Structure 1
Amino acid sequence: MNWRALATALLLVGAALSGWALWSQRERDAGRAEAVQRPDYVLHDFELVVLDKQGRESFTLRAPLLERDPQVKTMAIATPLFLIPPRPGGNGGAWEVRSRSGWVSADNEELRLRGAVRAESVDAEGRPIRIATEQLNVFPQAKRATSGVPTTVTQPGLILNGRRLEADLESKRIHLAEVKVRYERTAR
């Protein structure tokens, strides 16, 4: 056998092995790229005002960190503060809702708050209302909130503990299941 034919055969085998190695590595890299998806934008120490379809304020968000997922267009938020205003002519004041983490749906119609959730507002008479729970789903355009975990609702002279919260944020009406009520005297 000629040395040129042997060198050509070795080069062809080497080229085939290199092509196969590159091809198999490409599939592994593509899998890794999907697993480590980077946000398409990140906000630090910001205030964001989200408008509804009529151009009115749906909610305001303040937080130290927001990351938007480019695939599903949702936002993950660290220690958010949501301010949900009443509708024009609505009852009471705006709701201030805080938590350890938050998530906003792609259409901005659902907020999922997790960890040490606290929601505060005042009713039409100026009395404070507080909701404390570990999970709260808020629908700012519909002005309602839900939770399936233990929840405490506090108003002057009254403490409600229960599950399955359904709250109308506009009228300040709150429904709980499996309720335990404690009345407390208020100072006059």
Structure 2
Amino acid sequence: MILLLSLGALVAGWAVWNQQRPAPQARVADNRPDYVLHDFELTALDGEGKESFTLRAPRLERRPDDATMSLATPLFLIPNAEGQHWEIRSKQGWVSADQEEIQLSGEVKANSPAATVRPVTMNTETLRVFPRRNLAETDDVMTIVQPGSILSGRGFAVSTATKRYVFRSEVKTRYVPARR
């Protein structure tokens, strides 16, 4: 009888002890950014301390789970060899955690520097930029407008170092006479 009572007391004690420990709570995924910037300007420098690009946007959010950043209506100012800036705008932007890739989406528009003799405007819906590789590309239709011509095609890649570009398919060109 004493043995049964002792065993019952042990079982009861174990049950009470388990009831007192809080049950482990399931961790809820938190999609909140760990920081947000409003109406900011950021200038990134290359390895030699020269301006690589300047970014202006009304909002930047960094996700803590994967360290990526999302941008609202970003404006990138990218200097050319003469120190003048290309302007690249879009509705949204995304930057990878290692800053190896920038994705622009929604009415992406790139304008050559204002002082350029033959101004160029490039339009597409999406653009992936790889700054360290000096490469930009899209699988969408790219349209390049410059005085006297409009060139378009599906799939586009450009080396920002050599200024050489390639259209992959559906290439069309149109002569547009200058207005007098």
CA drift at 1:161: 1.5
Q: Report matched runs for 1:1-188 at 5 Å.
A: 13=15, 15-17=17-19, 19=21, 22-23=23-24, 26=25, 28-29=26-27, 32=28, 35-87=29-81, 89=82, 93-122=84-113, 126-170=117-161, 172-178=163-169, 179-188=171-180
**Matches of 2:133 and 2:116 in 1, distance apart?**
23
Give the secondary-structure state (helix, strand or coil) at the position aligned to 2:23: helix
Deviations 1:128-182 (A, max 9, x none): 1111111111233444311111111111111112012112335544321220111
User: Residues 171 and 156 of structure 1: is their aligned pair in 2 closer, same or farther, counting only changes over 3 Å?
Assistant: farther
CA drift at 1:15: 4.6
Deviations 1:75-134 (A, max 9, x none): 1101100001114x57xx421000011012333342210111001104995211111111
Structure 1 stretches of 5 or more lacking a match? none
Q: How many residues align?
A: 175
**Matches of 2:52 and 2:95 in 1, distance apart?**
13
Residue 146 of structure 1 contacts residue 164 of structure 1 at CA under 8 Å; is this kept in 2?
yes
Residue 87 of structure 2 contacts residue 113 of structure 2 at CA under 8 Å; is this kept in 1?
no
Quick one: percent identity of the two aligned structures?
47
**Matches of 1:125 and 1:85 in 2, distance apart?**
13
For residue 94 of structure 2, what is the amino acid of its counterpart?
W
| Over 6 Å off, 4+ runs | 5-11
User: Residues 129 and 169 of structure 1: is their aligned pair in 2 closer, same or farther, counting only changes over 3 Å?
Assistant: farther
**Matches of 1:124 and 1:63 in 2, distance apart?**
24
TM-score (normalised: structure 2)? 0.81
CA drift at 1:67: 0.8
